[in-house]
Amino acid sequence: AQSVTQLGSHVSVSEGALVLLRCNYSSSVPPYLFWYVQYPNQGLQLLLKYTSAATLVKGINGFEAEFKKSETSFHLTKPSAHMSDAAEYFCAVRGGSQGNLIFGKGTKLSVKP
């Protein structure tokens, strides 16, 4: 069975600092992995996805994630945080052939001026 663990329910960084949000997965099959962002009172927006092509995946808004099979990780990074990055971020793994997603519990990112 697939599962996702996000380390850290809250992460706080200063504007301009590196953003690192951690995600580890468990999957019995080659995983399809996703990062979504949720701004306050809004739905989820796809940041990026890994579908077994390149291990370094670039997404929107300057975010990227690297798939590391040996570490079962898919951490999300951004070199320089912006105030507008403040949001909640969810890592997810595809749960089955019907496409349902299994989500981590989310990491709330705060950006200090």
Partner 1 sequence: NAGVTQTPKFRVLKTGQSMTLLCAQDMNHEYMYWYRQDPGMGLRLIHYSVGEGTTAKGEVPDGYNVSRLKKQNFLLGLESAAPSQTSVYFCASSYSNLRQGVTEAFFGQGTRLTVV
Rounded CA separation 37/108 (Å): 10
Does position 28 interact with partner 1 (CB under 8 A)? The reply is no
Number of residues that bind partner 1 (CB under 8 A): 25
The angle at the Cα of 12, spanning 111 to 45, to the nearest 5 degrees, equals 65
Binding flags for partner 1, 48-87, as an x/- string (CB under 8 A): -x-x------------------------------------
φ, ψ at 54 (rounded to 5°): -65, 140
Burial of 72 (0-12, 13-18, 19+ CB in 10 A): middle
Q: How far is the CB of 30 from partner 1 (least distance, A)?
A: 11
Beta carbon of residue 6, minimum distance to partner 1 (angstroms, whole number): 8
Closer to partner 1 by CB, 18 or 60: give it.
60
